[in-house]
Amino acid sequence: MAKIFISFLGTNDYLECSYKFQNKLIKNVRFVQEATIKLHCNNWSSNDKVLIFTTKNAYQNNWKDNGHKDRKTGEYLDRIGLEKRLSDLKLNCSIKQINIPDGKNEAEIWEIFSIVFDEIEQDTEIIFDITHAFRSIPMLAIVILNYAKVIKDVSLDGLYYGAMEALGNFPDVKKIPLEKRIIPIIDLTSFDHLMEWSVGIDQFLKSGNASLVSKLAEKSARTILSRTKGRDRSQHIIRKFANNLEAFTKTLSTCRGRDISNNIVRLKINLDDCKKIKLNESLNKPLRPLLEKINRQMDSFPENFDKDGIQAAKWCLEHNLIQQGYTILQETLISYFLTRIGEDPYNFQSKNRKLVNQAVYIFFDRSPEKIDKNRSEEQKITNKLLNFYKKNKAIVETHRNLSNLRNDINHCGFNEDPAKANTLTNELKKIIQQVEKNIST
């Protein structure tokens, strides 16, 4: 994957200083871009590129040499511009300067957006230095990055800011001896990660799709575990949670009814583990409320087979998985009926599950002659079901309506008098309410 370094060059007469990032120190440079590029782009190849965006004044003042004048004499000062400083690094990657407007109005800001976005290539990793970004550019940079993630499938490898203000205001910093004029470079990448987590968890809460959460957890774990040589326990826990969350959503979207309660138990354990660990420091506080929202949804599942099945149908309704909701709810009722007559709903060698629907038909059609008297065991089960139905007519009527609508949706509406899409959604909601009202667990 190709890499791109992006930065905006300002107009000020920058002080020579040193920049520190983690345990690395880049000494005696005027431009933070030079320090950031030395730190992160030294080993880049010819497929990669450095992009420096400049306004007209930034180009004259700092991209080219000797762009600043002495305020008293008016004479040009001896200053090496960023163009030559980067050229002297002898990088293997290409270096490109791009003109942009000042961004004084909305039209110019949109023009900057287009210029920067057009320079970003498909499927690239981006490092962004926003130290000298002016006015609305830092916010615009985040917008461009997230837009490019969607449209061009890019990823952010680093977001950095050289914090001169950590040493004081400009006049005070100027008085500090050069050897002590050390400016920290702050890694802001975690804020982008938080934004991605917010989007991923929002997607999960609204659509029931946990694939993005799982992807983010895997990406984060891979990066941190590589840096810590596998010793960061928190990342193992987060990755396990995300994988189980995705497994849970796939269980519902593929109607794996027997796995619902087990997945819920695992997820609740995972969430408890997440509460106990010390998450990545920069994500700790803001990420916990997002995880708590998931925790509240999981709390609605009581870890009881029948109730979990009903709650799963609710989940499907809330996340527009209508067909899955009908399927899970009907199969939950079939298991409920068999359990109530003392039969094993997991005995798949028998025809008991089919007998449930057959007995419903016999019950309402009042056609006992349809009972297969040649099969004594099946006759016995059917009679037990019919006796149960007599005492629980309301829930059996609900089951019959549910079966008809499930057949309608499973046959894609290719039947007589098919229901409308909105009707199927509304009826599922009513049926869930009826089931909750009429079954005892």
Same domain, 330 and 289: no
Global confidence as pTM: 0.77
Confidence of residue 424 (pLDDT cuts 50, 70, 90): very high
Residue with tokens 């600043």: 68
Is 359 in the same domain as 245? no
* 167 and 137 together in one domain: yes
Q: Structure tokens of 373?
A: 């008297």
Task: Evaluate whether residue 312 is within a structural domain.
Answer: no
Whether residue 306 is contained in a domain is answered as no
Q: Report yes or no on 213 lying in a domain.
A: yes
The pLDDT of residue 191 is 84
Of 131-135, 253-257, 310-314, 397-401, where does mean pLDDT reach its minimum?
A: 131-135
Confidence of residue 282 (pLDDT cuts 50, 70, 90): very low
Neighbouring C-alpha atoms within 13 Å toward the C-beta of 269: 9
For residue 307, tell me if it sits in a domain. no
Range of the domain at 71: 2-187
23 and 41 fall within a common domain: yes
Yes or no: say if 174 and 17 are a contact pair by the CB < 8 Å rule: no
What is the distance in angstroms between the CA of the first residue and the CA of the last residue of the chain?
Answer: 55
H-assigned helices in 277-419: 284-299, 305-318, 322-340, 352-365, 376-391, 393-410
Which DSSP helix (H) or strand (E) runs through 276? Answer: helix 260-276
Please, what's the largest Cα pairwise distance for the chain? Answer: 114
Q: How many domains does the chain have?
A: 3
pLDDT band, residue 208 (cuts 50/70/90): confident
Given this model, what pLDDT does residue 253 score?
94
- 185 forms beta bridges with 162
Torsion (CA) 377, 378, 381, 387 in degrees, nearest 10: -120
Return mean pLDDT, the chain: 89
Is the same domain home to 74 and 165?
Answer: yes
**Three-class SS of residue 27?**
strand
DSSP characters over 116-140: HHHHSPSSEEEEEE-TT--TTHHHH
The pLDDT of residue 370 is above 70: no
Instruction: Count the alpha carbons within 13 Å of 132 in the hemisphere toward its beta carbon.
Output: 23
Please give the sequence-ordered ranges of beta strands (E in DSSP) within 44-180, or none if there are none. Answer: 49-54, 94-99, 124-129, 155-162
The predicted model gives 377-389 an average pLDDT of: 90
Say yes or no: 386 and 247 in one domain.
no
Residues 141 and 29 in one domain: yes
How far apart, in Å, are the Cα atoms of 431 and each of 136, 176, 283, 308, 335? 52, 75, 42, 16, 17
Q: Which residue, of 270, 299, 328, is where some domain finishes?
A: 299
Residue 228 pLDDT? 62
Residue 135 has a pLDDT of 67
Query: Strand, helix or coil at 95?
Result: strand
- Find the CATH number of the domain harbouring 119: 3.40.50.10640
Same domain, 48 and 169: yes
> Picking from 184-193, 236-245, 367-376, which range would have the lowest pLDDT averaged per residue?
367-376
d(CA 427, CA 249) in angstroms, rounded, equals 23
Whether pLDDT at 440 is above 80: no
Per-residue confidence at 367, pLDDT binned at 50, 70, 90? low
**End-of-domain residue from the set 272, 299, 326:** 299
- For residues 343, 348, 349, 354, the Cα torsion angle rounded to the nearest 10 degrees is 80
Could you tell me the pLDDT band of residue 410, with boundaries at 50, 70 and 90? Answer: very high
Query: 402 and 341, same structural domain?
Result: yes
Q: What whole-number distance in Å separates Cα of residue 182 and Cα of residue 169?
A: 14
In a domain, 311, yes or no: no
- 332, 340 in Cβ contact below 8 A? no
Please check the confidence at residue 441 and state whether its pLDDT lies above 70. no
Question: Are 176 and 204 found together in one domain?
Answer: no
Question: Do the domain assignments include residue 323?
Answer: yes
At residue 257's C-alpha, the angle toward residues 254 and 259, to 5°, is 95
Whether 60 and 124 map to the same domain: the answer is: yes
Task: Report if residue 54 sits inside a domain.
Answer: yes
